[in-house]
Amino acid sequence: MYYESRNDKLKEQIMLFIFFVSVISLLIILIIKLDGNKANQAEINNYETSKLSTENEQNVENNIQKYINEVVKTVVGISKLKQNGTSIFLDNSEQKLGLGSGIILSDNGYILTNQHVAGNKYSNCYVTLENGQIYDGTVVWADNNLDLAIVKIAATNLQYIELADSDKINLADEVYAIGNPIGIEFQRTVTKGIISGIDRTIKLQEGESSSYMEDLIQTDATINEGNSGGPLVNTKGELIGVNTVKITEAEGIGFAVPINIVKPILEKLMNTGKFEEAYLGIYGYDKEVIPYLESNLEIQSGVYVASVSADGPLFNKEIRVGDIITKIDDIEINKMNDLRKYIYSKSPKDIVKLTIKRNNIEKVLEIQLGQRM
């Protein structure tokens, strides 16, 4: 009996041990399985995330392509003489004049380009649309300091470009330049790049005379001869600037004029059908240009008065070369383009208050704006 009882206890202990081992094994199996499920789920989640990211990237890329394809339809060719052929390699001198670019701004035929492409106000040119139609064009506004011009053609129901806010661009933003490099053989060429710099100032040298272009957008998107006047657009296909010049001494350095400077002009043209340009009669430089002019002059803000036009409303007033314009009405001025844009928003004979500084003494002048003919 004693041995039987002892054997029974031993059997119970063995059975209990087997039970505990079984339970522990089952728990280990469950833990491993759960971990495996988690790992599998993590792999599935990573795959889904990667797939979604790839799909999003593809959608973004597809949208960009769609936007750019639409922009291309708004890019026109502009020439001073009609193109009688289709090749830029013919001996005919008219073909050799080549082709500049322009951008349709409205459905009723306002087109933005460079002044050096279309010419001065009232000049005539020829505009070739994306479908091959050629229209006579007339320059209704031009500014050689900005190297911008607006051409009008007698057309309706045109596809036109949307305008961005060029004050909201950032370094490294992706951009696309579109135009007609070299000539009609390569019309509406698209190049891709980024915004390499903002508010750039460059010096232009023509013979012994020099001038400056300010507040430019710098890009590494390729800009060649013939691209002048074409659009620089963002990834939404919105116009941020007008391609105007490249640095010939280096690759990948091109410049565009920000679009915001033109908006007051376009608004008046669209609302009234004409633009009567108010005229202040001064030419000024941003503070970034001052080191090129006078090494001992430093200004912290405002616009440096470089010249006063003899036919302008400021001639014989209490303003002279070297004065600093700090305000117009109640608006602080730190860039010449800000001053231009404000004047563009006004009308001839409007009264403005100009705050100038000379030898750290401020003076307010009341000026009646003239009219540029």
Written as tens digits, the pLDDT of the chain (373 aa) is 544 555 666 666 667 767 676 777 777 777 766 666 665 666 666 655 665 556 666 677 789 999 999 999 999 999 987 555 443 333 444 444 457 999 999 999 999 999 999 999 999 999 999 999 999 999 999 998 899 999 999 999 999 999 999 999 999 999 999 998 766 667 788 999 999 999 998 887 776 677 788 899 999 998 877 788 999 999 999 999 999 977 767 778 899 999 999 999 999 998 998 899 999 999 898 888 877 776 577 788 899 998 999 988 988 888 999 899 999 999 999 999 999 999 999 999 999 999 999 888 999 999 999 998 7
CB atoms within 10 A of CB 73: 16
Cα 162 to the center of its chain, rounded Å: 12
Residues 171 and 136 in one domain: no
Residue 196 lies in a domain: yes
Same structural domain for residues 227 and 174? yes
When divided into structural domains, the chain yields a total of: 3
Of the residues 200, 231, 265, the one at which a domain ends? 265
What confidence score (pLDDT) does residue 108 get? 96
User: What phi and psi values does residue 106 have, to the nearest 5 degrees?
Assistant: -150, 160
Number of H helices, E strands in the chain: 6, 21
What integer pLDDT is reported at residue 93 of this predicted model? 40
State whether 339 and 292 are in the same domain: yes
Residue 16 lies in a domain: no
- For residue 190, give its domain range: 165-265
| Close Cβ partners of 159 (under 8 Å, ≥ 6 residues apart) | 70, 73, 74, 104, 107
Which residue in the list 106, 116, 173, 211 is annotated as catalytic?
Answer: 116
Tell me whether residue 196 is one of the annotated catalytic residues.
Answer: no
pLDDT at 56: 65
Catalytic residue flag (residue 50): no
Residue 218 has a pLDDT of 96
For residue 47, being part of any structural domain is answered with: no
The confidence score (pLDDT) of residue 164 equals 97
**CA-CA distance, 191 to 170, in Å (whole number)?**
19
| Residue where the block lists tokens 């001198």 | 93
User: Which of 101, 196, 228, 323 is an active site residue?
Assistant: 228
- 147 part of the active site: yes
Task: State the pLDDT at residue 33.
Answer: 66
Total-model pTM: 0.80
Q: Is residue 1 a part of any domain in this protein?
A: no
Count Cβ neighbours within 10 Å for each residue of 308-327 and write b for 16 or more, e otherwise.
Answer: beeebbbeeeebeeebbbbb
pLDDT at residue 95, rounded to an integer? 40
- Residue 227 pLDDT: 85
At residue 94, the pLDDT reads: 41
Evaluate whether residue 61 is within a structural domain: no
Q: Pick the catalytic residue: 79, 101, 143, 147?
A: 147
| CA separation for the pair 259, 39 (Å, rounded) | 53
CATH of the domain at 317: 2.30.42.10
Is 211 part of a structural domain of the chain? yes
